[in-house]
Amino acid sequence: MTSETPRDESAEQPEQPATEGAPAAPADAESAQAAESEEGDEMTELKTHLAERTADLQRLQAEYVNYKRRVERDRDVVRETAVASTLSALLPVLDDIDRARDHGELGGGFKAVAESLERVVATLGLERFGKPGEEFDPRIHEALMHDYADDVDTVTAQTILQVGYRVGERILRPARVAVVEPAPVDAPVTPQQSEAGDAETERDAADDTEE
């Protein structure tokens, strides 16, 4: 009866697979880090592009707003210039109406037409200015006559020879006025003039005594 040789069971057992949770191999860790770094670079690049496009959009919006303001300002200037030019051409007609009113010749249908015209130009912003007694202002007054007076303290528009007109801040025609200013005071006597006067007085007194 022969004896059987015991088998080495450890040699015949199959190789067991790696269990879950085992540490990754060094090559896998480097690949993961490289992928994360690439994703970070892409995100940074996207943020940079987004910031650039946002800045471009804001610049375009600011340029559009400035352009719109410039167009509106130019349109207002053109309108004001056209209105001022038209009203300036009507000033002689308004002067004729004033003269007719002063002479009592403004009546009937002509009066209605004149008043209608005055209302229309008023709605367009035309204003009259110039009143007797107001202080002379060379920016809105044109002095045609000059005189002195004792009852004023400053240069004054005493008489309005022709009213002025303006539209807003634009002067279409200055008010033409006659101005008066305080009467000039006598020049002060200097010491030399005083001594000369005293000497002349003494000579006159001596002459009277001799006579």
How much is the pLDDT for 111?
92
How much is the pLDDT for 33?
72
How much is the pLDDT for 193?
46
The radius of gyration of the chain from alpha carbons, rounded to an integer in Å, stands at 51
Instruction: Summarize pLDDT for 183-209 with one digit per residue, the tens.
Output: 887 644 445 445 555 555 555 555 555
Which positions of the chain have pLDDT values less than 50?
1-3, 10-11, 21, 187-190, 192-193
**Long-range CB contacts for residues 167-172, cutoff 8 Å, separation at least 24:** 167/80, 167/83, 167/84, 167/87, 167/124, 167/125, 167/126, 167/127, 168/80, 168/125, 170/80, 170/84, 171/139, 171/140, 172/84, 172/87, 172/88, 172/91, 172/126
- The tally of CA atoms less than 13 A away on the side-chain side of residue 88 is 11
Domains and CATH numbers, the chain: 126-185 (2.30.22.10)
Residue with tokens 């309005």: 160
Find all residues with CB under 8 Å of 124, minimum gap 6, and list them.
Answer: 83, 86, 87, 167
DSSP 186: P
pTM: 0.58
DSSP 169: T
| Rounded Cα distance, 8 and 115, in Å | 132
